[in-house]
């Protein structure tokens, strides 16, 4: 994959140098690859997305990918219905590839107070590559 090393480096950098969450890291990495400008409001909006605020529900990697599909779909002039279908297909594919759409199932070690930081670095790299191949 053309962007394999770039994704690995950017995800690592966003996690460890900037201490960002999975959704923000995913969105920023995809936006760099596609040279898509993201507004500060979009970046603010993803603050609580990972696991629905660490509740363990929908994974931030799924949510950020769906957001990016919507952004790119509108940029390309797709209709609302077409974007919804693409998001549905993406979710099915993600679930098939990773086994779940839920953070509580995908996050290594779950949510414990003594978790080390950035447990999802490896799955983030895989998920961004999966999203890139889907788009």
pTM: 0.91
Render 33-77 in DSSP notation, one character per residue.
HHT----HHHHHHTTTTTHHHHTS-B-HHHHHHHHHHHHHHHHTT
Instruction: Give, in order, the Cα–Cα distances in Å from 70 to each of 55, 61, 73, 79.
Output: 24, 14, 5, 10
pLDDT tens-digit readout, 83-133: 999 999 999 999 999 999 998 899 887 777 787 778 899 999 999 999 999
Pull the structure tokens for residue 99: 């086994």
pLDDT score recorded for residue 7: 97
Q: What does the domain layout of the chain look like in residue ranges?
A: 4-109+118-134
pLDDT score recorded for residue 2: 81
CB 103 within 8 A of CB 59: yes
pLDDT tens-digit readout, 21-57: 999 999 999 999 999 999 999 999 998 888 777 777 8
Q: pLDDT category, 1, cuts 50, 70, 90?
A: low
d(CA 95, CA 73): 21
pLDDT score recorded for residue 52: 75
Which of 89, 90, 106, 88 minimizes the C-alpha distance to 98?
106
Mean per-residue pLDDT, 64-83: 96
pLDDT score recorded for residue 10: 97
Q: Residue 11: is its pLDDT beyond 90? A: yes
Which of 15, 9, 123, 1 minimizes the C-alpha distance to 62?
123
């Amino acid at each position: 994959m053309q962007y394999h090393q770039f994704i690995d480096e950017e995800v690592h950098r966003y996690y460890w140098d900037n201490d960002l969450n999975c959704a923000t890291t995913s969105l920023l990495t995809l936006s760099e690859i596609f040279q898509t400008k993201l507004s500060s409001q979009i970046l603010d909006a993803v603050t609580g997305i990972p696991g629905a605020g660490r509740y363990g529900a929908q994974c931030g990697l799924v949510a950020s990918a769906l957001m990016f599909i919507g952004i790119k779909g509108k940029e390309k002039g797709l209709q609302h219905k077409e974007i919804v279908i693409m998001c549905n297909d993406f979710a099915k594919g993600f679930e098939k590839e990773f086994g779940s759409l839920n953070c509580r199932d995908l996050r290594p070690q779950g949510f414990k107070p003594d978790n080390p930081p950035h447990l999802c670095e490896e799955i983030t790299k895989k998920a961004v590559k999966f999203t890139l191949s889907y788009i």
